[in-house]
Each structure stands twice: as structure tokens, then as C-alpha cells.
Amino acid sequence: MLTRREALMSTLFGAGYVGLRALATGLPVSFLLDPRKALALQPGEAPCPTASRPQYVIFNTSGDGDPINASVPGTYEDPKIVHSRFPSMAPRPLTIQGRTYTAAAPWSTLPPRVLDRTVFWHLMTDTPVHSHEPEVLRLMGATPAKEMLPSLLAKQLAPCLGTIQPQPISVGALTPSEALRYAGAALPVVPPLALKATLISEAGPLRGLQPLRDATLEQLHDLYRADATRAQRLYLDSLTTSQAQLRDIKQELLDTLSSIKDNSAASQMLAAITLIRMKVSPVVSVHIPFGGDNHRDIGLETESNETVTGVATIASLMEQLASAGLADDVTFMTLNVFGRTLGPGHQNGRHHNHNHQVSLTIGKPFRGGVVGGVGPQRLDFGSLNVDSKTGVGHADGDIKVADTLGAFGQTMMAAIGADPSLITSPNGTAKVITTALS
């Protein structure tokens, strides 16, 4: 029987731990799995279904239905919308792509270069039920073969990024509803502490990268010299990691993993960056708390405190990505099961709002701004129809409110260069919001 460590190693690095050999040598997993087939491919024949913009994705999701929607741009135009009265959440102006919006103070602390790549999406998920998060991640039936959005993105991105596996990895799922599936199969959760324990022990795989590199290159030597053309050898030489480079990579990974102290959101960001640097998966799922299931949140204290720390976690992630040279290679994305009520009478806690949820996207493929908006709906507020040409929310928008989730999915597909038509919508009015793309 496999031990827990062996099972986790297989999850991270694939059969035969081929991912470790790829990390040690710098050579693509596809080449190591079948060198002769890889050498036979002509330039441009690599199996990459996306057009041009592959991105790693850090995908934040929560089954709590966090009140992110209560503090963002687009919710400060109507004075009847209830916001936290904590000084830390006071309304502040923030500028995105030269346009000024109002939001809770924490959002204004994001650096301008980050805000210019940040889109706030006002959507309707059409469910008030926590356990329906898997359905929301499947865009309420709009994805092909009932694939979850993070899994669909991963399936498109893996061939282009050359990752060890196409399946997403979750480092932050806290409840069964937050667990991911790929092609119908449940995926394991790898908490940060488990990742650290597996990789950095004295007998851990990162300690043995140097001999693994040398042994792998020696095994490939005869084939490489006999079958590769000069152009192919030059190309492979350009990919192969030198001993000095490998020492730097190993030390950076060890340093990052050593700084993980718990399974908190901050540690999840460290784990996600580590998995991306090791090219394990195109999509890493995390959970950043933003107020949680706050029915009895007296004075909205938890909402306020977790919004402050949540935005700070995102800001720290962006800084770490920039320091690692990954600012243009990683997109941060959120999608939660539902939002929270916004109307009067909710100063001491908020209830489920199936009509309004706010997602964020931050990354190079996006042109910052606000898509959609909110308006009065019965006793509360809900999302509006969206104008597909401008992204503005209003009653006459050609994207019906029930299709805003599908439009979000289509735009995410377009952002990575994949086929948006893979995503459908209940009324058939979903479209790519081109104004949200850079």
C-alpha cells in the first residue's frame, strides 16, 4: 500500500515522479515522458489548444458566501446600501485605469499597478445555498461536461504551460463544497503544512535535485546525441538548467517552504507560488476569508477585520509574484457561492444574496475596471443586466442578469486565449466583455 507521503508525491510529481526530473533538468515533462516523440515534433506542433495568452491561475473560492460584494466599487452609488461603519472600512476613492471609483478603504491600498489590472465583476449566481458551490463552480450548468471552471481553465492551460499535471490542486479547501473535481473525479487537498513536510525534510525530494539532474541527463545523452538535430540540441540546451541555476532554484524553494508556519491564507499563497514555480499545475485553489457566513456579525466586525486582512493578503501575493518575476504570468481570480444582502437592517450581520456576488480578476490579461452593477430588488439589492460593449450594468443591458455568470466564464476563457463558446448561458445572452480584457 502507498504511504501518505508516497501518495502526495505522486499527486505532486506524477507517475515515476517525472515532475521532479523536469524540475531538476529544466526539460519539459512531455520530453521526459517520450523523448523520441518530442524530438519528432516540428516547431509549432506542440499540443497547445489556447491561442496565445497562457497564465497560471490562483483561484480563490469560498463556500461561506463571503461579503466581498459589500465593500467594492459599484456599491457606493446608492446611499441605502449598508456598509461597515468601522473606521478601517471608511469609503475611499481609488483610481483604476484613470477612472475614480469609491470603495472601502482596504481596496484603495492596492498599488496602482495592481488596480490597473483589477476587474470587479458584479454577478448573479442564482443560489442561496452553501452546498451549491460545486454547481456555481460549474457556472450553474454552463460548462461543458459539467466541468468546474478552475478545471476547465486548467485543461486548456496545461499543454501550453507544460505543467506536470492538467488537474488543479487545492491548498485551501475548508469544506467538502470547496473541494475541486476534474473530469468527474474528486481531487485531493494539499494543505501548506503537508506540502512543506513532504518537500523540505532531510530526505525530501528537493534535497536530491542535483544528483537527479545529472542522472537524468546521463540517461538522455545517447538519444540526445544520436537522434537530435543541431537545432534541436541547441533548443534543449537552452532549456536545460545549469548546476548553478538549480542550486538557486532549490534554495529559493526551500526558503519559501520553510517560511510556511500554518495553513492560513498567507501560507496558502506561499504554497501556491511554490507549486507554480515547480510547474506542478496550471491552477491552484486557495481560500482567503472575507467575512464568512456572517448572519450574526455584530456591527459587521468580522466582515471589517477579514476584509482588511483579505485585501492585505492579495496585496502581499502580488508583491511576491513581482519579486519572483511572475507578475505577468499569474492571474488571481475569485468565485464564491453567493454574496450577501446589502439593504437596510443588516448592520448586525448579513444574509444570503443569490442575486449578487462579486468576483475579482487581477492579472496581465485584464484591463482594470468594474463590470456590471447593483440596483434595488424587492427588499434588497441585486445584480443588473450588463452592456456587453461597455461592461456597464443597467436595466437595458443586452447580457441578462441570469447570464452574467456565463459571461464571466466566457471572458475568463478569452483571457487565456481559449474558446469562449465552450461556455453557454441560460438565456443565451452571455458574451465576452471585451472592455475587461487588455
**pLDDT tens per residue, range 309-328:** 999 999 999 999 999 999 99
**How far apart, in whole angstroms, are the C-alpha atoms of residue 133 and residue 110?**
28
Regarding whether 316 and 239 lie in a shared domain, the answer is: no
Mean pLDDT calculated for residue range 374-392: 95
Total count of domains within the chain: 2
Average pLDDT over residues 383-410: 97
Beta bridge partners of 189: 170
Over 80: is that where the pLDDT of 363 sits?
yes
Residue 206 shares a structural domain with residue 185: no
Q: Is the pLDDT of residue 430 over 80?
A: yes
Q: Which of 262, 282, 301 is the last residue of a domain?
A: 262
Which of 90, 74, 110 has the alpha carbon at shortest distance from 304? 90
| Beta-strand pair 283-286/169-170 | parallel
Instruction: For residues 161 and 22, state if they share a domain.
Output: no
- Beta-carbon count within 10 A of 327 CB: 17
CA–CA distance from 197 to each of 167, 200, 209 (Å)? Answer: 22, 6, 17
* Same structural domain, 220 and 160: no
Assess whether pLDDT exceeds 70 at residue 45: no
Structural domain for 215, as ranges: 1-46+194-262
In a shared domain, residues 28 and 105 = no
pLDDT at 76 over 60: yes
Closest residue by Cα to residue 361 from 24, 21, 14, 57: 57
Q: Are residues 430 and 284 in the same domain?
A: yes
pLDDT score recorded for residue 336: 97
Q: 315 and 218, same structural domain? A: no
Mean pLDDT of the region 188-197:
92
Provide the mean pLDDT of the chain.
91
Q: Is the pLDDT of residue 51 over 60?
A: no
Same domain flag for 354 and 247: no
The enclosing domain of 338 has a CATH number of 3.40.720
Euclidean distance between CA atoms 382 and 81, whole angstroms: 11
Q: What percent of the chain has pLDDT over 90?
A: 69
Do 366 and 236 lie in a common domain? no
What are 412's three cell numbers?
A: 475568463
Q: How far apart are CA 76 and CA 81, in angstroms?
A: 7
Cα angle 176-178-182, degrees, rounded to a multiple of 5: 95
On whether both 276 and 424 belong to a single domain, the answer is: yes
Residues 23, 170 within the same domain: no
Q: Are residues 128 and 184 in the same domain?
A: yes
pTM as predicted: 0.93
Identify the CA nearest to 168 among candidates 142, 194, 198, 188: 188
pLDDT exceeds cutoff 90 at 235? no
Range with lowest mean pLDDT among 123-132, 236-245, 255-264, 376-385: 236-245
